[in-house]
């Protein structure tokens, strides 16, 4: 599910779950393991990348809708655990957004240090409201950290999906590039950051990113109860079921 490619001190973790790198429990677990292994191996930075044209289509709705409530709750625990892993990782992370990155794809990118998006007819954003789900507080806080509170409210409440130019304008991504240059530029950014004095860079980075970690450390059982209730609500189930059915037909 993940291709591991080393570029000297930078490790690329390339999502490899065709057709759209949809996030399911197995891929979430593989990503968490990949991040831990990168740190344990002494790598200086991690680049998260995807397939040309597809970074990640977000959560695997058809699979998630088959899970029991216990399994679904554990999936949310692990999903938010992955986000905290990225936020608190002691080495820098870069999102090389090689194509479409809606919903869960955007969530992955939010917690990295730097985001580069492929130019073209691609979209990213937190479109949860459009599929009948409220955006969890921890994600609203993270979006505010990246684009500012006012833009975060506009994007999250509207469930807006942005093209690369719009995403760059509001600060949701830091750069855009032709699709075949996204990964090389992400690697170059990470390698350049590693030329800084390591203790000064790491200490400053840790302080700057503390709000992201704090957002997760305030995530308790009550928050998970609210997320589960929102997922199981009739409005959400009807919308998610219709989307899952369309996705199922598109694979035939």
Residue 177 lies in a domain: yes
Residue 77 lies in a domain: yes
**Residue 15 forms beta bridges with which residues?**
2
Residue 213 lies in a domain: no
Q: How many domains does the chain have?
A: 1
Task: Give the model's pLDDT for residue 248.
Answer: 67
Task: Give the model's pLDDT for residue 223.
Answer: 85
**Residue 48 forms beta bridges with which residues?**
13, 95
Half-sphere exposure of 201 (CA within 13 A, CB side): 15
For the chain (252 residues), the mean pLDDT of every run of 10, in chain order, is 97 96 97 98 98 93 93 95 96 97 95 98 95 91 95 97 97 97 98 97 96 85 89 88 75 50
Which pTM value belongs to this model?
A: 0.94
Residue 190 lies in a domain: yes
Q: How far apart are CA 213 and CA 90, in angstroms?
A: 12
Task: Give the model's pLDDT for residue 249.
Answer: 55
Task: Give the model's pLDDT for residue 160.
Answer: 97
Residue 215 lies in a domain: no
Residue 225 lies in a domain: no
Helix ranges (DSSP H) in the chain: 25-40, 61-64, 69-88, 104-110, 137-147, 149-158, 164-170, 182-193, 198-208, 210-217, 221-232, 234-250
The residues, any chain, with a CB within 8 Å of residue 229's CB and separated by 6 or more, are none
Task: Give the model's pLDDT for residue 250.
Answer: 53
Q: Phi and psi at residue 15, in whole multiples of 5°?
A: -60, 130
CATH code of 95's domain? 3.90.226.10
Task: Give the model's pLDDT for residue 252.
Answer: 45
Domain that holds residue 153: 2-198
The residues, any chain, with a CB within 8 Å of residue 106's CB and separated by 6 or more, are 58, 124, 125, 126, 172
Residue 82 lies in a domain: yes
Residue 134 lies in a domain: yes
Q: How far apart are CA 201 and CA 248, in angstroms?
A: 46
């Amino acid at each position: 599910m993940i291709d591991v490619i080393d570029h000297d001190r930078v490790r690329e973790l390339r999502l490899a779950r065709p057709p759209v790198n949809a996030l399911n429990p197995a891929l979430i677990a593989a990503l968490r393991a990949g991040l831990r292994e990168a740190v344990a191996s002494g790598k200086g930075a991690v680049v998260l990348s995807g397939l040309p044209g597809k970074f990640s289509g977000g959560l695997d709705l058809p699979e998630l809708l088959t899970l029991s409530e216990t399994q679904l709750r554990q999936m949310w625990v692990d999903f938010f655990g992955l986000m905290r892993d990225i936020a608190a990782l002691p080495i820098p992370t870069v999102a090389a957004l090689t194509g479409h990155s809606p919903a869960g794809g955007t969530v992955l990118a939010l917690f990295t240090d730097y985001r580069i998006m492929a130019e073209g007819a691609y979209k990213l954003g937190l479109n949860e409201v459009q599929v009948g789900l409220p955006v969890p507080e921890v994600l609203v806080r993270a979006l505010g950290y990246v684009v500012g509170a006012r833009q975060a409210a506009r994007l999250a409440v509207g469930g807006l999906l942005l093209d690369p130019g719009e995403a760059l304008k509001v600060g949701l991504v830091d750069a855009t590039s032709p699709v075949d240059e996204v990964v090389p530029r992400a690697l170059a950014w990470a390698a350049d950051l590693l030329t800084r004095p390591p203790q000064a860079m790491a200490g400053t980075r840790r302080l700057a990113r503390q709000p992201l970690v704090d957002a997760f450390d305030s995530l308790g059982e009550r928050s998970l109860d609210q997320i589960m209730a929102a997922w199981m609500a009739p409005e959400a189930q009807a919308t998610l079921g219709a989307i899952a059915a369309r996705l199922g037909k598109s694979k035939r």
